[in-house]
Chain A
Amino acid sequence: MKVFRLSQAELDDMVQQWSTTRRVYRPATGRQQPAQADCAPGWERAGDGAPLTVAAGPSKASVKTFLFPQPETMQTYSLKSSDPDRALLKEAAKAADKQIVVGLRPCDARSVQLNNLPYRDDPYYQAGLVRTVMVGFTCKAMCSTCFCDQMGGSPMATEGLDIAVSQLDDSFVAEALTPAGEELTAGLDLTPAADSDLKALAALRKDCPQPDNARLDTLKGRDLNTLYKAPLWQGLGESCINCGACTFICPTCYCFDVQDEVVRGAGRRIRYWDSCMFPLYSLHTTGHNPRGLKMQRTRNRFMHKLKYFPDRFGPFSCVGCGRCVQDCPVNIDIREVISDLLTVE
């Protein structure tokens, strides 16, 4: 592991240098303009010389869009009668060039690891992991909606990051944690961190909230059926409007649907984000829908994150970034849901 000390100017310069040969993305600072339409909503291309500043708290859009694009083209085909390969599904060309994501937070980095549990055999996600280099910024302060420490993370955690940048007073310390991270810093004229910097960093890390999942882990031992039948879902389902905002801004929601699109003879099979809030989500071809009621769909999201996923994989499928808390149109607060679930007898 190599550790460097950077000023703001040196940090900007480093990002600038990366952007000359690779695609570098950062959280969008303002509303996106069409000139930057080659980014997912909430992100923009870095390297325009603007100083890199990352607002407190998680970025508006989560990092999942780089590994689990909306949409992912899986196969392409042609339906043109003149095409000799008519109606033959072909594997879509996959990009292999590196993309660098700058400015994600430790919670997002952790979400990549969590999504990797169900997606460990998914070729698309794995290909995304290989080509994405994550340069994260650790958090100097937690927002009022953050609860990463409760979900097994920490504001200064580096798990899942290739390079972790931490702020020390007016300068930064960058830790190249993986070979991919070291590759990025290699060849750049960077100042190694002094011992005093390392000490300051260690002190910060020691002082910040540590992962503390003792309280929540009691949920894991609870009986699934008791939680499933808890009366609290009725009220939640009643106020939920079943939009997909929470699931789409959530870094750890990973459900998808597959569809074919054909335009003027050119076809593609895409997988795109689905949400358990949508009525089509679990609709069977028979017309039967096991989650036909709004309440059942709302319940599914929380039960999946807090019960089904940990039962199957171990950790909760939530990193405590608080995005859904901030953006839910009807203020359904997962922290309250957890508190209420803990009181279910």
Chain B
Amino acid sequence: MPAIKAARSAGGRGHGPLLPPCVLHDNFFYRTRTDYMPTINEKLTEEIRAQARTLLADGTVAAVIGFARGSLPMTVKPVVVRAAADCGRLVWNSFCVLNLANYLPEVLKSVEPPRGPRDPKPAGPLPKVAVLATGCWSRNIVVQTQEHQVDRERVVVMGVASRGMVSRRKVESHFSGREILAVEELDHDLLVTGADFADKINRWSVVRDNCQTCIHPDPVLVDVRIGEPASARKNPNPFKQVDDLEAQTSAERWAWFTSEFSTCIRCYACRNACPLCYCPTCFVDDARPQWVGKSLDPVDTGLFHLLRAYHCAGRCTDCGACESVCPMGINMRMLTKKLNKDVLNLYGMEAGMQPGSPLPLTTYATTDPQKFIVTEAKAVKEDE
């Protein structure tokens, strides 16, 4: 059957029966050209590898958290590199949608010398860990420090200015579901190849919503700088999506909410990809009382998303990992974005931007706005 054979050979099965079919997206075509110039991401990749090698070789850090090439187009694998010789695995491209701060507390723990639960902390400094961080990820490291999940002294932040990460879903929907076999990234374009098509699309047009509205692309913590700092990005209204929804009626918003979350399968990828979620027992796992039922009842699903978002209030950096990892393509980021907007408007705070000050919900001001409070005076007024 020629159709099958064609698709399979395009998938690169020549590598062996089970090897991932597509490993062509690492600028394979581009490299073969005579006028080859390294792209921005290739330069960053080289720099990341070199810096990681140095940090590991001179013993500054015990591990480096970064990304390795994925087995499919537009994917990367988060990896922990522990030897200078393995640093060649590290890559940097526009598909690094996961938030690496998510791995930090666990990796920090893993490099500590093993000890029992009641053994004292060993004397002397504990091994350090290096982590790649863009603007939002570095802000998450600030939040983790504020919440005592991470010891800042033990983290070496390899700061990379983000150019905005690409949404795999946007690219896929641009090609209306036709299978994409290879994506090659140039500086401002993506070359997308399928079994029966090849096209060039503008990179920025498929960058994730949260990155398109981001005004803090440059890391707030930098111990080792990778590449150039980003120039300040202006956005007259980063909360436009939220504003548009707020302009609708209550019934319309309810319709949006029920429809948006109706496809949730409760896999908790959004929760687990989030660097803010580190509770040993999540509220969804509480059985007595059971705050949220565990099956696909629409009320339970809605409550899960509301409470999950609410638990991120004042802490969310809008890194977009939750939305990017959702297998069903749910836009749960809208809820946290709304909370970010309120926190900024009410308390003038943005998560991770004020390392020295407490988080918005762990502090208060006597002058905090309280328009939502029912007062007796208002009660009288409404009676009139």
A and B touch in the complex (CB under 8 A): yes
List residues of A whose CB falls within 8 A of some B CB: 31-34, 37, 40-42, 55-57, 60-61, 70-71, 139-145, 147, 150, 155, 204, 207-209, 212, 215, 235, 238-239, 241-245, 247-249, 257, 259, 261, 270, 272-273, 275, 278-280, 294, 325-327, 329-333, 335-336, 338-339
Given the complex, which residues of B lie within 8 Å of A238, measured CB to CB? 79-80, 103, 106-107, 110
Given contacts A243-B267, A336-B20, contact A331 B102 (CB under 8 A): no
B295 close to A270 (CB less than 8 A): yes
Contact of B263 among A31, A139, A270, A331 (CB under 8 A): A31
Taking the closest CB of chain A, its distance from the CB of B43, in whole angstroms, is 24
Contact of A209 among B4, B98, B324 (CB under 8 A): B4
- Over the window 284-297 of chain B, the binary record of Cβ atoms lying under 8 Å from chain A Cβ atoms (1 yes, 0 no) is 01010010011110
* CA–CA, A248 and B294, complex, Å: 13
Given the complex, which residues of B lie within 8 Å of A71, measured CB to CB? 294-296
Q: Which residue of B lies closest to A215 (CB)?
A: B17
* CA–CA, A254 and B140, complex, Å: 36
Given contacts A239-B79, A248-B265, contact A57 B3 (CB under 8 A): no
**Does B329 sit within 8 A of A, measured CB to CB?**
yes
* CA–CA, A278 and B1, complex, Å: 42
Given the complex, which residues of B lie within 8 Å of A40, measured CB to CB? 296
* CA–CA, A40 and B80, complex, Å: 37
A241 close to B102 (CB less than 8 A): yes
B77 close to A34 (CB less than 8 A): no
* CA–CA, A338 and B79, complex, Å: 19
B325 close to A329 (CB less than 8 A): yes
**Does B19 sit within 8 A of A, measured CB to CB?**
yes
Contact of A326 among B72, B281, B329 (CB under 8 A): B72
Given contacts A34-B258, A241-B272, A329-B325, contact A339 B72 (CB under 8 A): no
A331 close to B262 (CB less than 8 A): no
* CA–CA, A6 and B329, complex, Å: 35
Given the complex, which residues of A lie within 8 Å of B324, measured CB to CB? 329
Given the complex, which residues of A lie within 8 Å of B98, measured CB to CB? 329-330
A204 close to B1 (CB less than 8 A): yes
B327 close to A327 (CB less than 8 A): yes
20 A-B residue pairings within 8 Å (CB atoms): A34-B262, A37-B262, A70-B265, A70-B295, A71-B295, A142-B7, A144-B179, A145-B21, A207-B1, A208-B4, A245-B325, A272-B294, A279-B281, A279-B285, A327-B327, A329-B273, A330-B77, A330-B98, A336-B19, A338-B18
B19 close to A57 (CB less than 8 A): no
* CA–CA, A330 and B296, complex, Å: 24
* CA–CA, A330 and B72, complex, Å: 11
**Does B129 sit within 8 A of A, measured CB to CB?**
no
Given contacts A140-B4, A235-B79, A261-B290, contact A243 B268 (CB under 8 A): yes
**Does B202 sit within 8 A of A, measured CB to CB?**
no
* CA–CA, A41 and B8, complex, Å: 30
**Does B264 sit within 8 A of A, measured CB to CB?**
yes
Q: Which residue of A lies closest to B8 (CB)?
A: A142
